């Protein structure tokens, strides 16, 4: 679980996309376009695995989709089905070896996986599988487990079911065989996965925005614990649990998902707008302008502005062309790093009382730099408002978070946080207010806020996970 210590943000976990082609669609272009629309979910590496005339091939690279794929290698992507992946590593080293999808051969053929999430007991499961592993990614543990059951002459459906019984954590993964596309979502539905259709071809995606981009019709979200098998016979659904409760990660709505996505019937943009309105109800303050921290803080800032009737302004310009994995080698250059990513429109904040809305505070280092940028630009007052509840607990369910000791809110009260950030006031939305913004009965995982995680025996599994991480440095 490597994380960039210079960047004070939760990291997007990964994004997956798959298509089963029954109408001779250009699967190369559709997969390429879809992965581009999911780029916000991972920028370290990307790849596509495809099946053409019974042969499965792979194209992968480090960096962004636009940098990895070109006309030459896209022309090779043909056939009946494909799966694609954009990665930010929460488990396993960041290198091409761990880039996904992972394609593997076993004694009955070849199979590939693209996985979003984190398996907490991956190493324990790995120790029970008598196979050689090529990567340090937990995704390969899922794949090898399924293979081990297939080699015992179980069908693909039963092999997946048996694997779901032993792996613990969060997952939305796609499998590709020579003649099928398969999607699986964990029993709590922590990570998103949806189904779409373009003509007679089915697609699976982490977010609905990818369906919009390629002109696919949104069908529905995959249910928690559901297995979707798509082949020449059509789409088959297998529900492994009765009456599931979808406990989507709260940060999918706060930060990870693109604003134009709909996840488990919740419109992400509308929800963030409601967060801002609720934030004003709970933490009002008089000021001259409201600004948001791009990108995920913008909708909440607009909601705060509308509820308060305080004018909304653009306060920051974000550099959209710098990769999120930019690492500064020295302290002096690190200080410049924030300005490279984000700069203030000084004329909009000078001599004004400014309310700045951000989606979260993790360590507080970036938040403090944002405050300093505003003050250096001449802001008279800076009032910080946060559209998520206090982050007090780390997460190992597919988010790359610091340890509890590094979380600002884990050991500091609101007054101490105000002093550390050197702001004139600070306010967070409450957990109750956050839940009320859904406007309908909705279960979400809020473990990072309240320490209650939906995975059974999470604390025991987490202790094992950290023990392994501390002893090996990286899984």
* 358 is known to lie in a ligand binding site: yes
DSSP class of residue 215 equals T
CA-based nearest residue to 149, from 165, 133, 172, 137: 165
Indicate which residues carry an active-site annotation: 14
**260 marked ligand binding residue:** no
DSSP, collapsed to helix, strand or coil, labels residue 469 as: helix
| 283 assigned ligand-binding residue | no
Report whether 445 belongs to an annotated binding site: yes
Which helix (H) or strand (E) segment holds residue 218: the answer is strand 217-221
> Which residues lie closer than 8 Å to 147 by C-beta, 6 or more apart?
104, 106, 111, 131, 159
**Residue 474, marked binder:** no
Say whether 448 counts as a known binding-site residue. yes
d(CA 315, CA 305): 13
DSSP 408-452: HHHH--HHHHHHHHT-SEEEE--HHHHHHTTSS---EE-HHHHS-
Instruction: Using CA atoms of 352, 357, 363, 365 in order, give the dihedral in degrees to the nearest 10.
Output: -30
The whole-angstrom separation of Cα 332 and Cα 330 is 6
- Ligand-binding site membership of 359 (annotated): yes
CA 270 to chain centre: 19
Annotated binding site for [4Fe-4S] cluster, which residues? 249, 395, 445, 448
Annotated binding site for Mg(2+), which residues? 296, 358-359
Annotated binding site, which residues? 249, 296, 358-359, 395, 445, 448
């Amino acid at each position: 679980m490597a994380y960039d210590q210079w960047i004070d943000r939760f990291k997007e976990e990964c994004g997956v996309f798959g298509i089963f082609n029954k109408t001779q669609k250009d699967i190369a272009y559709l997969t390429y376009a879809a992965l581009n629309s999911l780029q916000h979910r991972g920028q370290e590496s990307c790849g596509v695995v495809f099946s053409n005339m019974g042969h499965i091939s792979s194209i992968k690279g480090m960096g962004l989709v636009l940098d990895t794929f070109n006309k030459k290698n896209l022309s090779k992507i043909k056939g009946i089905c494909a799966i694609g992946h954009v990665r930010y590593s929460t488990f396993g080293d960041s290198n091409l070896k761990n880039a996904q999808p992972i394609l593997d051969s076993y004694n009955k053929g070849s199979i590939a996986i693209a996985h979003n999430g984190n398996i907490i007991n991956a190493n324990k499961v790995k120790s029970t599988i008598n196979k050689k592993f090529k990567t340090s990614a937990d995704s390969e543990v899922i794949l090898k487990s399924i293979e081990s059951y297939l080699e015992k002459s179980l069908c693909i459906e039963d092999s997946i079911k048996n694997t779901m019984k032993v792996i613990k954590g969060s997952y939305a993964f796609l499998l590709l065989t020579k003649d099928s596309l398969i999607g699986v979502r964990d029993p709590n539905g922590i990570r998103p996965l949806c189904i779409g259709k373009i003509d007679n071809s089915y697609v699976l995606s982490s977010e609905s925005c990818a369906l919009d981009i390629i002109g696919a019709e949104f069908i529905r979200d995959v249910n928690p614990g559901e297995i979707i098998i798509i082949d020449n016979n059509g789409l088959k659904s297998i529900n492994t649990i009765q009456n599931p409760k979808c406990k989507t990660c709260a940060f999918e709505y706060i930060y990870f998902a693109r604003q134009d996505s709909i996840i488990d019937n919740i419109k992400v943009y509308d929800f963030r707008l409601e967060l801002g309105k609720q934030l004003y109800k709970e933490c009002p303050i008089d000021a001259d302008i409201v600004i948001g921290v791009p990108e995920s803080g913008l909708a909440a800032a607009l909601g705060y502005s509308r509820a308060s009737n305080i004018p909304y302004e653009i306060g920051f310009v974000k550099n959209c062309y710098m990769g999120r994995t930019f690492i500064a080698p020295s302290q002096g250059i690190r200080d410049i790093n924030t300005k490279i990513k984000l700069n203030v429109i000084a004329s909009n904040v000078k001599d004004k009382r400014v309310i700045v809305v951000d989606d979260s505070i993790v360590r507080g280092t970036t938040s403090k730099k944002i405050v300093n940028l505003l003050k250096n630009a001449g802001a008279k007052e800076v009032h910080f408002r946060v559209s998520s509840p206090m982050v007090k607990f780390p997460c190992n369910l597919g988010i790359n978070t610091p340890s509890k000791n590094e979380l600002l809110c884990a050991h500091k009260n609101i007054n101490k946080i105000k002093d550390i950030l050197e702001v004139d006031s600070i306010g967070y939305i409450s957990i109750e207010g956050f839940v009320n913004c859904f406007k309908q009965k909705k279960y979400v995982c809020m473990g990072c806020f309240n320490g209650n995680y939906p995975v059974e025996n999470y604390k025991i599994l987490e202790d094992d996970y950290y023990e392994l991480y501390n002893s090996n440095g990286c899984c």
